[in-house]
């Protein structure tokens, strides 16, 4: 298995405020972007258990946690450091403290940064989740620690394009795209149920939106829908409808979503569908800044080489066997892009923007196979692709100067 070292950074910026759990007497500085204690009348609290929780990171590609480093500004008085931090790790459910031999569920004790960094390699990856609980503490009412960021190094197994398209985008489309379908049904007998089994187009019907008595309620003012069983495809009504009455049923369906590089997919039994074509990485650049995570107690760590950043441009085809279904599917896809402008990479647990480039390009005339189709183009913007091997890194412990250190300023 090929593993890649990746750094997950918890940045304490204003845009992440809603994801943080700010405890009593703590705050996120909205202009300087760090965590700190709240000063009341110019005095910081001396409480010992004030804390902030990061959001729960869930990179599903993780195979092992490797490193931990905090960027913090501490303050001293008369040569003695007055501010400090403590830490616990969490999987989003339980908080864990390193007791010197193992990680135990604990919500009262705190570890140092060095203890977390040295032992994070044994923290469980079963849930593939990690959250950092930070204890901010001061001994001087005039000072507060300033926490700028927390970095967690992990080792993961991930294929980046596969993660973005197959594991992230396709499930999102399947979950969110819900076009409406409609049909008229003449009641064969007086009944309070309708079967959707006989619809000719092989829709994957997931729910029913409404049912109206077309004969006696042509303005569709009284909805007769009660419930829908997707297994039996039986619609339950609020009351019995008499024989010969025409009812108007509106349902929601889930399109087939697939990736193809040929026209072989256009088979009648596989429509209606969404097909992703021509997936290309464009406008890619190599980022200039490497990153690292060091164990400040030992000075050892890893330098992660700067990733490639680029856009994935994707052509989406919509295919149906009815022209009206094509219009409805196209409208639903446009609605999706208007309301779901972020794609979360499940492997990295990172968000990327979705840009719709051209909304709709289609024909109202079916092809020779009776298939209607349309297409649009969109991009996954600024996606990251880690390719270079990480290198071992060592922190600088001291500087040794020799020679003339005099400096003249004029």
Task: Give 248's pLDDT tier (boundaries 50, 70, 90).
Answer: very high
Determine the pLDDT at residue 73.
Answer: 97
The pLDDT value given to residue 401: 56
pLDDT of residue 365 exceeding 70: no
Residues in CB range of 145: below 8 A, 6 or more apart: 36, 37, 72, 73, 74, 75, 83, 84, 85, 136, 137, 138
Place of tokens 């195979």: 63
For residue 177, which phi and psi values (nearest 5 degrees)?
-80, 115
Question: What per-residue confidence (pLDDT) applies to 402?
Answer: 58
| Residue 340 pLDDT grade (very low, low, confident, very high; cuts 50, 70, 90) | confident
pLDDT value at residue 289: 86
Question: pLDDT of 36-54, one tens digit each?
Answer: 999 999 999 999 999 999 9
Please, is 354 exposed, middle or buried when counting C-beta atoms within 10 Å of its C-beta (0-12, 13-18, 19+)?
middle
Average pLDDT of the chain is: 91
Kindly state the tokens that stand for 277: 């074509």
Say what the pLDDT of residue 201 is.
84
CB 90 within 8 A of CB 52: no
pLDDT exceeds 60 at position 125: yes
Catalogue all structural domains in the chain, each as residue range(s) with its CATH number. 4-156 (2.60.120), 160-177+263-393 (3.30.2000), 180-253 (no CATH)
Per the structure block, which two tokens stand in for 219?
A: 């303005």
**Does residue 367 carry a pLDDT above 50?**
yes
Segment 79-85 shows an average pLDDT of 96
Count of Cβ atoms closer than 10 Å to residue 252 Cβ: 18
Q: What is the pLDDT of residue 267?
A: 43
Query: What percentage of the chain exceeds 70 in pLDDT?
Result: 91
Q: What percent of the chain has pLDDT over 90?
A: 76
- Tell which residue, 201, 225, 238, has the closest CA to residue 324: 201
Q: Does the bond joining 71 to the residue before it have cis omega, within 30 degrees of 0?
A: no
**Would you say 108 and 7 are in contact if contact means Cβ atoms under 8 Å apart?**
no
Q: Which of 10, 114, 128 is nearest to 65 (CA)?
A: 128
**Counting every residue, how long is the chain?**
410
Q: How far is CA 388 from CA 5, 303, 313, 383, in A?
A: 9, 11, 23, 16
- Segment 341-356 mean pLDDT: 94
pLDDT beyond 60 at 262: no
Sign of CA dihedral 204, 208, 213, 218: negative
Inform me whether the pLDDT recorded for 187 exceeds 90: yes
pTM: 0.84
Q: pLDDT value at position 362? A: 63
- Per-residue pLDDT at 291 exceeds 70: yes
Structure tokens at 24: 């009593």
Phi-psi map region of 249: left, alpha, beta (phi>0 left; psi -120 to 50 alpha) = beta
Segments in 145-252 forming alpha helices (H): 160-162, 170-176
Residues 6+ apart with CB under 8 A from 3: 63, 155, 156, 157
Q: Where are the beta strands (DSSP E) in 62-218?
A: 62-73, 76-77, 80-81, 83-90, 95-98, 103-105, 131-138, 146-156, 180-186, 191-195, 205-213
Q: Which of 127-136, 204-213, 267-276, 340-349 has the lowest mean pLDDT?
A: 267-276
Instruction: Give pLDDT, residue 220.
Output: 96
- List, for residues 374-410, the tens digit of each pLDDT value: 889 999 999 999 988 999 988 765 555 555 555 444 4
Cα–Cα dist 258/241, whole Å: 40
Cβ–Cβ < 8 Å for 250, 258: no
Radius of gyration of the chain (CA): 29
């Amino acid at each position: 298995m090929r593993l890649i070292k990746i750094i997950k950074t918890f940045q304490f910026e204003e845009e992440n405020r809603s994801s943080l759990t700010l405890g009593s007497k703590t705050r996120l500085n909205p202009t300087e972007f760090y965590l700190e204690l709240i000063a009341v009348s110019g005095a910081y609290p001396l409480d010992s258990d004030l804390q902030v929780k990061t959001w729960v990171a869930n990179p599903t590609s993780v195979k092992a946690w490797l490193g931990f480093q905090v960027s913090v500004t501490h303050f001293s008085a008369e040569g003695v450091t007055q501010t400090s931090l403590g830490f616990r790790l969490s999987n989003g459910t339980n908080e864990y403290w390193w007791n010197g031999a193992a990680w135990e569920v604990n919500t009262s004790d705190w570890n140092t940064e060095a203890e977390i960094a040295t032992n994070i390699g044994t923290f469980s990856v079963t849930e593939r989740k990690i959250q950092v609980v930070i204890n901010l503490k001061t001994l001087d009412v005039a000072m507060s620690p300033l926490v700028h960021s927390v970095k967690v190094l992990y080792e993961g197994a991930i294929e980046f394009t596969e993660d973005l398209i197959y594991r992230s985008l396709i499930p999102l489309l399947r979950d969110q795209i819900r076009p409406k379908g409609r049909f008229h049904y003449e009641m064969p007998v007086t009944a309070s149920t309708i079967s959707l089994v006989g619809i000719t187009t092989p829709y994957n019907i997931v729910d029913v939106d409404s049912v109206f008595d077309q004969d006696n309620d042509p303005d569709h003012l009284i909805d007769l829908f009660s419930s829908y069983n997707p297994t039996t495809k039986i619609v339950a009504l609020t009351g019995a409808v008499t024989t010969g009455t025409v009812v108007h049923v509106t349902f929601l369906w889930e399109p087939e979503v697939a990736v193809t590089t040929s026209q072989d997919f256009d088979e009648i039994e596989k429509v209606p569908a969404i097909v992703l074509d021509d997936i290309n990485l464009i406008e890619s650049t190599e980022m200039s800044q490497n990153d690292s995570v060091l164990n400040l107690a030992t000075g050892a760590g890893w330098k992660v080489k700067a990733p490639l950043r680029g856009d994935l441009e994707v052509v989406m085809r919509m295919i149906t066997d009815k022209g009206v279904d094509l219009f409805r599917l196209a409208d639903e896809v446009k609605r999706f892009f208007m309301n779901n402008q972020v794609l979360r990479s499940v492997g990295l647990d990172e968000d990327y923007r979705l840009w719709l480039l051209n909304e709709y390009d289609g024909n109202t005339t079916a092809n020779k196979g009776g298939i209607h189709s349309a297409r649009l183009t969109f991009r996954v913007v600024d996606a990251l692709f880690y390719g270079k091997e990480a290198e071992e890194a060592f922190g600088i412990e001291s500087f040794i100067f020799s020679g003339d250190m005099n400096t003249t300023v004029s």
